[in-house]
Amino acid sequence: MGHVYSLNVNPLGGVPKYPVNKIKIEFTGVDGDKQNDLKYHGGPTRAVCLFSLERIEQLQSEGHPIDIGSTGENITIKGIDWGILKSGTRISIGDVLIRLTDTAPPCKTIIKSFNGGNFTRILEKNNPGWSRWYASVIREGVINTNDTVSLE
């Protein structure tokens, strides 16, 4: 089990996403968070974006200027083995239940989070287990910072 380290939104769209104490998760996405490019972001199979605090900290130790929310994740999770995640994994976060749909391919909008613009550092194909994840929503609800995260 892990827990929610940070919840992040940007009401104007894009990145970075800024920390908030709680978020409302709906089937269509995170209430109060806007996506600027609906071709690649948002929608029922990409309603929520998640990333690992431990991965962010490791990237920082490699010298990347990444920070929480700078690559667009809505939920930063601590204490989950990121390397074992796969499409179809169900995750319970507080009262919310989501299902991982696919890894979130990085794009040039997050270039400032990486030394030399190397945003492909978190591309699943290049570095398995280092990508952010997209998820669909099975059960809507409110998530708070420090809520428990468990894989089902």
Residue numbers in the chain where pLDDT is lower than 50: none
Give the list of residues 6+ apart from residue 132 with CB closer than 8 angstroms, or none. Answer: 49, 50, 51, 71, 72, 73, 103, 104, 106, 122
Report the CATH number at residue 66: 2.40.33.20
b/e per residue 52-69 (b: at least 16 CB within 10 A): bbbbbeebeeeebebebb
Q: For residue range 70-106, what is the model confidence (pLDDT) as tens digits?
A: 999 999 999 999 999 999 999 999 999 999 999 999 9
d(CA 49, CA 44): 12
* pTM of the complete model: 0.96
Total domains, the chain: 1
Residue range(s) defining the domain that contains residue 16: 2-151
